[in-house]
Amino acid sequence: MNKYRIKKVKDQISSRYYPQVKVLFWWKNLIPHSPYNGDGGFSTLAEAENAICFRIRKNKVEYFDFDPNENCK
């Protein structure tokens, strides 16, 4: 079973998409309701998918070799 889903709520005027995460047995909105982000929903499915990816994406770590004999002349 998936740990993430997107809930779609449709009314007469528009649709809203809510990214959700499963916590134990319940589904919880990934972006909580607040005065800064409105109701926590998105206007398009793509925006909701991007919000999930942004939340769960791990930082990419890169390593670069550094040779002080070559770089510090």
**Domain residue ranges in the chain:** 4-71
Confidence check: pLDDT of 35 > 70:
no
53 to 4, 12, 31: CA distances (angstroms): 10, 29, 12
pLDDT of residue 70: 75
Model pTM greater than 0.75?
no
Sign of CA dihedral 12, 32, 29, 27: negative
**Distance separating alpha carbons of residues 15 and 35, to the nearest angstrom:** 20
> Once rounded to an integer, what is the mean pLDDT over residues 51-55?
84
Confidence check: pLDDT of 46 > 80:
yes
| The two three-digit tokens of residue 43, written as one number | 């206007």
Confidence check: pLDDT of 36 > 80:
no
Torsion of CA 30, 26, 24, 54, to 10 degrees: -10
pLDDT of residue 37: 63
